[in-house]
Amino acid sequence: MTYKQFFTVRIIAGVLLFVFVLWGLWALLGTFKQPERLPDAHVEEGEPARSRETPEAGGGHQPAGVPSSLDHGAPADQGVPANHDTSLDHRAPGDHGVLLEQLAAPGPGVLHEPKAKGVHFVEAIISVLDYELNERFWGWRPNDVIRFTDNVENMQLGMLEVVRRASVNLADRISRHGVSAAIDKNLENAMNWFMIKPDEFWLPSAEEKYKDSLKELRTYADKLERGEAHFYVRADSLIPLLLSFADLAGSCDENLVKKHEDDGSPVSWFNADDYFYYAKGVGKAMAKILHAVMEDFSDVIESRQGHDLLHRAIHAFEVGSELEPWIVTDASLDGILANHRANMAAEISHARYFLNALAKALST
C-alpha cells in the first residue's frame, strides 16, 4: 500500500467513525426525551377549583374536546352562584386551560365573535415572518455581515419566498373583484417591500422593510374586521395561490432530487444542506398559510370535496418541516447513511401533488 493510500483509508475510516458516534449520541439522547405535556388549568394559589358554568336552554350540546369539568355547571333555573368568579369567562386560553375556539359554538356558549373572512389568512402570513424578524435569536440572518451559520439563513429564505407569493396573490387576486379593481394600498406596499433583496444590509435594510410590510398587513386585517376592505373567497381567487405554491414546491423537489448542478458538477454536501433547509422553510410556511386557507375558504373547498386533499397537503408539509437531522447527509439511496434530501423530497412531492389535485378540483 502506498503512502497516499495509507492515509486515504484512515481519513475515510475516521470520518465514518465520527458520523457513527454522532448518530449514537443522537439516538441515546432521543431515548431520554420526554413527551410534551399540555399545560394544566391555571388555578391561583389558595383559590379553590371551580367549574365554569355554561347553561343552555333546553339542555345544550357539549362541544367536542371541551373538558368534562364543564358538564357540572349550575342548572339554568338556579342562577349563577353568589361566589362565582365571572372574570374566568374573560381569561385568556392559557389561564384556564380551555381553548376559546373549542367553545365557539353557536348559541349562549359563544365567547367571542368570529373573525372576518380573510383575517386568518393575513394573520398566518404575518406569523410566518414575525417570529423570524422579532423573536428568533439573532433575528433576520441572510444580510448579516458576519454569518456563523447557513441553515437558518436558507430556511428563512424559503419562508420569505412563500410569503412573497402569498402577498402577491392576496394583493392581485384575493382582495380584488376583477382586474379592473384598484389594488388595496396597504397590500401594494406590503407586496413591494417583501421584494427587497433579503441580503440588503442598508438603504434599505431588508428586515426593516419586511417589518414595515407586516405593519401594512395588520392595517389591512383591521380594515377587514371593520368591513372597510375586501377578501373574496371564490375558487378563482384561490386557484392561482395553490398553483403558485405547487410551482415553488416543484422547484424545491427538483433541487432535492438532482445529482448534478446546472454546470454539470456533482451536488456537493454544502449545497445539499442548503437545498434541504430551504425546502424546510418552504414547507413550514406553506403549512401555516394553508391552515388559514382551510379556515377562510372552507365553504368553497367543501363544495368541491377538497377538504381531504388540502389536509393531506398540509400534513405532508408539516412532516417535512419537522425533519431536524443533526447533520444533513447525502448518501446514496441504498447506503448505510440517510439521504436527507430524498427524505424531504418525498414529503414535498406529496404536498405538491395534492395542491395540484385541489386546484384541479376547484376548477371543475
| Residue-wise pLDDT tens digits, 248-281 | 999 999 999 999 999 999 999 889 999 999 999 9
pTM for this structure? Answer: 0.70
Give the DSSP letter of residue 103. G
Average pLDDT of the chain?
80
Q: Model confidence over 144-202: pLDDT tens digits? A: 887 778 899 999 999 999 999 999 999 999 999 888 899 999 999 999 999 999 999 88
Helix (H, G, I), strand (E, B) or coil at 59: coil
Higher pLDDT residue, 205 or 2? 205
pLDDT (tens digit, 9 = 90+) per residue, 130-146? 999 999 988 999 988 87
**What stretches of the chain show up as alpha helix (H) in DSSP?**
3-31, 93-96, 119-130, 151-169, 185-194, 206-226, 235-257, 269-296, 298-303, 307-321, 340-363
Retrieve residue 292's grid coordinates: 388559514
Q: What does the buried/exposed string (b/e) look like for 85-111 if buried means 16 or more CB atoms within 10 Å of the residue's CB?
A: eeeeeeeeeeeeebeeeebebeeebee
Tell me the per-residue pLDDT of 317-351, one tens digit each, with 9 for 90 and over: 999 999 999 999 988 888 888 999 999 999 999 99
Q: In degrees to the nearest 10, what's the CA dihedral of 25, 30, 34, 38?
A: 130
User: How many whole angstroms separate alpha carbon 75 and alpha carbon 49?
Assistant: 18
What percent of the chain is predicted at pLDDT more than 70? 70
Determine the pLDDT at residue 205. 93
Q: Is the dihedral of CA 182, 183, 189, 193 positive or negative?
A: negative
Q: What is the pLDDT of residues 18-72, one digit of tens each?
A: 767 776 666 665 544 444 444 443 444 444 444 333 334 333 344 344 343 334 3
Across 299-323, average pLDDT: 97
Which residue in 262, 281, 274 sits closest to 348, CA to CA?
281
Residue 9's pLDDT is 55
pLDDT on residue 23: 67
Which pLDDT value is given to residue 114? 85
User: Has residue 306 got a pLDDT over 50?
Assistant: yes
| 267 contacts 258 by C-beta, under 8 angstroms | yes
Q: Is the pLDDT of residue 79 over 90?
A: no
CA distance 53 to 66: 13
Given a cut of 90, whether residue 206 has pLDDT beyond it is yes
Cα separation, 301 vs 333, whole angstroms:
37
Domain boundaries, the chain: 119-363
Please give the DSSP secondary-structure letter assigned to residue 330.
B
Tell me the C-alpha distance between 260 and 167, whole Å.
Answer: 33
CB-CB contact of 355 with 313 (8 Å)? yes
Mean pLDDT throughout 301-326?
96
Which single residue is written with the C-alpha cell 398566518?
124
Q: Which three cell numbers stand for residue 170?
A: 392576496
pLDDT above 70 (res 121): yes
pLDDT of residue 102: 42
To the nearest 10°, report the CA torsion of 285, 288, 293, 295.
Answer: -170
Rounded Cα distance between 155 and 305, Å, is 33
